[in-house]
Amino acid sequence: MFDYTAIGGIKLATLLDTRKPNADGTFPIRIRITYKRVQKYYSTNRRLSVSDWDKLPTAKAQKMTRLKEDLQKATDYIKKHVEELADQEIFSFNELNKRLGKATDINGTLNAAFTARIDNFKEMGKVSTADWYKYTLRSIELFAKEKSTSTSVEFKQITVDWLRRYEQYLLDEGKSYTTVSMYMRALQVIVNEAKSSGVIKQAQHPFGKGKYEIPQHEGRSIALNIKDIGEIVRYECETDTIEMCRDLWFFSYLCNGANITDICKLRYSSIRNGEICFYRQKTLAKAKKKKLIHAQLLPEMQTIIDRWGNAMESPDTFIFPFLQGGESPELERTKIKNITKLMNTKMKVISKKLGIPNISTYTARHSYATVLKRSGANIAFISESLGHNDLKTTENYLASFEQEERVKNAALLTNF
C-alpha cells in the first residue's frame, strides 16, 4: 500500500510493521524507506490489526476512509522531502532525519512530531536527549488517554488551559517540578517548531509571558560542607565496590565536579601539564563556544587512578575501565547509567551510616562549587571551572549557599 520508488532508487512504502505487536494485538503502521539496502522506519502514530490492515484498501467505513487519508498525507509528506533531497543529490538518512526532526506535521499530530525528533536524536547518537523526549511523549499520551480513548494529540489542542491541566496531571502523578519543567521544555520546543512551520499561528502559541509559563523549581540545598566531605573520604568501606564508588565520587568532586559521563570518557591524552582537560559532554553539541575545562591533577586523584584505573597503554587508553571504545551510543549510555546507578546505590549506604543526607553523583558537583564559594573563590572562576557559559547558571548552583549565608547573618542581628 502506498508503494513508491523515488529518484535514485530510494524506495518508500507504508506498511503494517508486524515485527512486534502492541499490548492490544495491533501493530504499528510505519513508513519504510530503503536506500542502498539499508531500511529505516518512520512512525505514523497509527496502528491496526492484521485483518483490518488487509481490509483497508477497499474499506468504505468513514473511520477507515479517514485513516487512509491520514496515511496518504503522511506518505506524501515524507515523499516530498525524499524527492527534494534526491533531486539535490544529497539524500542520506541523516539529512532526512534533520528535516523530519525540524518538521512538525507528518500526520498532523504532536505525537508524530515528537517521534520524528526522537528518531533524529537517535540517528545523531544523542541517546540521552532522545530518552528525554521519549519519556515526555509517553507522559503526554498517558494524559491524553485519560481524557479520551485516543493517545493522539493535535497541535490545536495545546492551549494554555491544556498545559495547566497537563502540569496538574504530572504533579498528581507525583512528578517533581524539576520533571515538570523538563517535560514542558521539550513540549515547548516542538510547539515552537510548529509555529515556525506555519502549523499553528502566533495567536495559537500557548507559551510565554501572560500565557503559560514553565514553572521554575527552586534549587535544593544538596551541597555538602568540607567537614562532611572529610568524613566521606575517611569512611571505612565494607567492600571494595563501596570503596571504588566512594573514590570515584571523591574524584568527581576534585575534578571540578565532573559528571560520570565525563569521567568515563577521560583518556590519558586528557592529562596535560599536570591538569585533566576535558569538554563537558552535556553541552558539547549545543554550545557555540566550546569550553575546555582544566582541573588540577591532585595527588589524591592520581592515587584513585592508580588504584581503579587502566594501565596506560597509549594516550587513547581510557583512564577508567568502564568503556572500551567503539560502543554504540545506546550501549555507551547503558554502561554509564549502570555505573552511575551503582555509585548512587553505594553512596546511599555511606550516607545512611554517616547520617549525611543527599550523597549522590550530583552532590559532588554542587559541593565542589559551594566549597569554593565558601572559601572565598571568585564566582567567575567557579563558573569557568564548571564549564558554564554564563554566570546565571553558576548562581543557580550557589542559590542554596546564599540562603544559608542570609540565615546565618540574620542571626547575628540579635546576637546580643
Provide the pLDDT for residue 413.
59
Cα 289-293-299 angle, rounded to 5 deg: 175
pTM of whole model > 0.75?
no
The average pLDDT across 160-178 equals: 90
Cα 389-390-396 angle, rounded to 5 deg: 115
State percent of the chain over pLDDT 70. 86
Judge: domain 226-412, CATH 1.10.443.10: yes
CA distance 234 to 342: 20
Confidence band of 362 (pLDDT split at 50, 70, 90):
confident
CA distance 363 to 228: 12
Residue partners of 126: CB distance under 8 A and separation at least 6: 285, 329
Poorest-pLDDT segment among 3-12, 182-191, 318-327: 3-12
Residue partners of 407: CB distance under 8 A and separation at least 6: none
DSSP for 195-260, please give it.
Answer: HHTTSS-GGG--BSTTSB-PPPPPPP--PPPHHHHHHHHT---SSHHHHHHHHHHHHHHHTTT--H
Q: Which ranges of 285-397 does DSSP label H, i.e. alpha helix?
A: 299-308, 329-354, 361-374, 379-386, 391-397
CA distance 396 to 345: 26
Provide the pLDDT for residue 329.
84
The average pLDDT across 279-297 equals: 75
Provide the pLDDT for residue 262.
92
Backbone angles phi, psi at 208, to 5 degrees: 125, 175
Poorest-pLDDT segment among 140-154, 157-171, 292-306, 330-344: 140-154
Q: What is the mean pLDDT of the chain?
A: 84
